Structure 1
Amino acid sequence: MEIAPFDLERWFAEVEHDADIMLAESGVRPLEASRFDTDPGELGYVIPTAGDPDFRADVGALHERTVEETIFTCGTQEANLLAFLALVDSHAVVVTPTYGSLTALPESFAEVTTVPLAEPDWTLDSDAVADAILPDTDVVVINNPNNPTGRYHDEAAMRAVYDVCADNGTYLLCDEVYRLLAEEPQPPVASFGRYGVSTAGVSKSFGLAGLRFGWLCGPPAVVSAAENWKDYTTISPPAFGQHVARQAFDRRDELLSENRELAAEHRAIVADFLADHGLGWSAPDCGVNAFIEVPDGFAGGESFCRSVVKEESVVLAPGEAFNQPEWFRIGYGLPRAELETGLARLDAFLARHA
């Protein structure tokens, strides 16, 4: 088994530590630990290792799934890995651009066909997905709301894709880690029916990335297979992560309201900045990410981002990490002062290179 380097994470590992401003962070600014009870008691394994049954039942209910159809993981990343281990054998279809692991992981197991979102609006074309599905396609993979574009594919398009999958006996796996940042979240894919699988966690929408806490909801056979694989990965979710995530989940109306307001305000700030500079973008409608066109005069996203981090100590994400070299990703979920400082430095950079 071989897996490609995770280009986005390798880029961050290279430049993030020494930079002043991280303007490519994909989540909402971290919440203070002081807002929660941080004493979980003994730091042993979580028992049962699938996660606290009462908490799993509550998370599952939001996906119209039972406690047996819900498993807790070490972040959404592990949830996705377990889903692929459980599902992928022959062929997968992945809608792109997307978070790198959603392509690289299935490519390490099987053949993968990618289906691009339709530009310029980055819309989901259910007919294109249908055309890519083969008789032996195990799973179709969609990240909704989308990272890196920030676009939220509408329910009609998602259900159209699900119907095609179900007719073929193919699972639809949706990474929904940004879903709860929507003012009116769409129904999760796990609620669509037998072939729907949802993964998510508290890293992005809740601003609690450090907890490394996520979940997978889906049909019993998929969850059972994922649990079997989890015995060989992390065994159980983190005790500390589950302890704080339970509190955040119980207070989700309060916390999500704060984060939605922050995301909306910061989205407007970035929109005004780009309009002033005449730069096109993906016009995000959910989450805290956006794709921005690389300005003239640069060979591509990496060239642009390397110049920005060298001259202004501001980290952006090159589009090459998403196989889109004419774009770069910005993250606007960071604290307001950092966002404003980062944009001011980007403004100075663009002025010098006009």
Structure 2
Amino acid sequence: MDIDPFELERFFARFEHDADIMLAESGIRSLDSSRFDSDPGEMGYVIPTNGDPELRETIGDDHGRDADEVLCTVGCQEANFLAFAATMGDHAVVVTPTYQSLYAVPEAFGEVTKVELEPPEWDLDVDAVADAIRDDTALVVLNNPNNPTGRYLSEETVRAVYDLAADNGSYLLCDEVYRLLAEDPLPPVSSLGEYGISTSSVTKSFGLAGCRFGWLAGPREVVEAAWNWKDYTTISPTKHGQHIATQALAQREEILAENRALADDHREKTRAFVERHGLDWYEPTGVNGFITVPDGFHSGISFCERVVEEESVVLAPGNAFGQPDYFRLGFGLPTEELEEGLGRLDAFLERHA
């Protein structure tokens, strides 16, 4: 088993620690721990190790699944890894561009066929998915809303992809970490039928990355197989993360209303920046803008390197997503930091106009 280096994480490792502003963060600004009771009591394992039954029931209610069809994990990254380990056979179909682990991990287990979203609208050709599915396809993989483009595929499109997968006896896995930042979230893929799997966490929509708490919801046989793999990874979710996540889900409506309002305000500020400099983007759902590289720069990585060297602002190069003509700008950070970061980008682009 071999896996490629995670290009985006390696890029961040070069610059993130010393830079002034992280304008590539892909989630909403972090909530302060003072908002919650942060004392979980005795710091033992979570028992049972698949997560608190009442919390799994709460998550299951939102995902069209029973408590026993939910597995609590250490972030969505682990949920995705366990889902791939549990379901991956010879072949998977992955819709790209997307977060690298969503194709790199299944490639470590078998063969992957990529189906590209089509710029500039980043729409999905369902017929292309149909053409990519083979008799030995174990699963189809979506990220909706999409990272990095911010495209939120319609319910009609997602259901069409689900039907293709189900008709082939393949699972549809959807990473839905940004779903709850949408004003009108689609039904989770796990609720569409026996072949639907949803993964998510409290990281992106709730602003609780430090909790490292996520989940997988789907068919019982997948959840049980993933739990078997989890015995060899983290064993249980974190006690502290589960304690905070339980409270956050109880405050769901209040927290999500605040975060959606922040995302809307910051989207407008970022739109103004894009328009000031004659750049292009597909206006996103969530807090990631995928923006065309300005004229005069060879690629996203050369542009992002110059920006961090001259302005101490970290952006995410589109090269890490297989799209060298773009860069990702995360506008979910605190307002003061976003405004400072956009101001530095303004100064940079004015110098290089």
TM-score, length-scaled by structure 2: 0.99
Determine whether 1:209 maps to 2:209: yes
Q: In 1, distance between residues paired with 2:224 and 2:348?
A: 52
| Map 1:275-314 → 2, pairs under 5 A | 275-284=275-284, 286-314=285-313
Preserved CA contact (<8 Å) 2:70 2:216? yes
Contact 2:117 2:123 in 1 (8 A): yes
SS in 1 for 2:63: coil
Q: Percent identity?
A: 66
Q: Which amino acid aligns with 2:65?
A: R
Distance of 2:155 and 2:124 partners within structure 1: 11
1:36 and 2:36 equivalent?
yes
Amino acid of the residue matched to residue 335 of structure 2? R
State the one-letter code of the partner of 1:192: L
Partner amino acid, structure 1, of 2:136: D
Corresponding residue of 1:343: 342
- Partner SS, residue 113 of structure 1: strand
> How far apart are residue 282 of structure 1 and its match?
2.1
Q: In the alignment, what sits opposite 1:230?
A: 230
Shift of 1:187: 0.1
Letter in 2 for 1:30: S
Letter in 1 for 2:314: V
2:120/2:281 contact within 8 Å kept: no
Show structure 1 runs of 5+ residues with no match: none
Aligned to 1:240: 240
Confirm or deny that 1:253 pairs with 2:286: no
* Uncovered stretches (5+) of structure 2, i.e. residues with no partner: none
* 2:25 partner amino acid: E
Structure 2: distance between partners of 1:165 and 1:247: 36
Give the letter for the 2:351 counterpart: R
Distance 1:127 1:46 in 2: 44
Deviation digits for residues 28-85 of structure 1 (CA, Å, limit 9, x no counterpart): 0000000000000000000000000011011011111001100100000000000000
- The AA in structure 1 aligned to 2:131 is D
In the other structure, the counterpart of 2:78 is: 78
| Structure 2 SS opposite 1:207 | coil
1:333 maps to what in 2? 332
Partner Cα distance (2:203, 2:13) in 1: 19
Alignment of 1:171-182 (within 5 A): 171-182=171-182
Match of 2:192 in 1: 192
Residues 148-157 or 122-131, more deviating: 122-131
TM-score (ref. length: structure 1):
0.99
**1:122-161 equivalence runs, <5 A:** 122-161=122-161
Report SS of the residue matched to 2:294. coil
- Is the contact between residue 26 and residue 330 of structure 2 (CA under 8 Å) also seen in structure 1? yes
Structure 2: how far apart are the matches of 1:27 and 1:72? 20
Q: Distance in 2 between matches of 1:120 and 1:11?
A: 25
Aligned residue pair count: 353
RMSD: 0.5
Q: Which moved more, 1:207-216 or 1:112-121?
A: 112-121
The Cα of 1:89 is off from its aligned counterpart by 1.3
Show the counterpart of 1:25. Answer: 25
Deviations 1:167-190 (A, max 9, x none): 000000000000011111100000
Q: What CA distance in whole angstroms lies between the structure 1 residues aligned with 2:21 and 2:175?
A: 27
Contact 2:212–2:241 (CA under 8 A) maintained in structure 1: yes
> Which amino acid counterpart does residue 250 of structure 2 have in structure 1?
D
